[in-house]
Structure 1
Amino acid sequence: MVKAEYWDVTDAQVIEKTGQPLAHWMGVLEAFGARDKPSKAAVDLLQNDHGVPRYWARTLTTHHLKQGQ
């Protein structure tokens, strides 16, 4: 089981790995309607359309979904 804080990432980490702050990616996922789509679709969007490494695309997508709970 993954610890809840595993998905808690900082702006510094996200900027280092993706070039953009966390708020940017949360906006991209909101605009995409990620909450209403399969998480794989959101991961694919970040990875394929925005060049986010797969690990970080998954992390950002999960972070986004957990923020809405």
Structure 2
Amino acid sequence: MKKAMKKEYWDVSDEQVIEKTGKKIDYWIQILTAFEAKTKKSNEVVSHLQNEYQVPRYWARTLTTLFLKSDGRAL
């Protein structure tokens, strides 16, 4: 059984994301949409953000979860 993820983990503000990544949430939504993140495993998406955009692991995971929970729509 999967452990439920706390909403606080992915319910972040633009200000928090900008502080940690230098970009707004909508920017990352566009990046993940272009990467077709919905069709990939979450670990692959996290690695992509880390390797291609130097996003810290915690924030790469947060952005991936946010994207998947938002159904890929801009927030």
Pick the TM interval, shorter chain: over 0.9
In structure 2, stretches of 5+ residues that fail to align are none
Aligned mates of 1:47, 1:5 — CA distance in 2: 21
Give the aligned length.
69
The percent identity for this pair of structures is: 55
Runs in 1 of length 4+ with deviation above 4 angstroms?
Answer: none
Aligned mates of 2:15, 2:41 — CA distance in 1: 27
TM-score by length of 1: 0.92
**Residue of structure 1 aligned with 2:31, choices 28, 33, 55:** 28
SS of residue matched to 1:16: helix
Q: How big is the alpha-carbon RMSD for the aligned residues of Structure 1 and Structure 2?
A: 1.4
TM-score by length of 2: 0.85
Aligned mates of 1:3, 1:47 — CA distance in 2: 22
Identify the structure with the greater helix proportion. 1
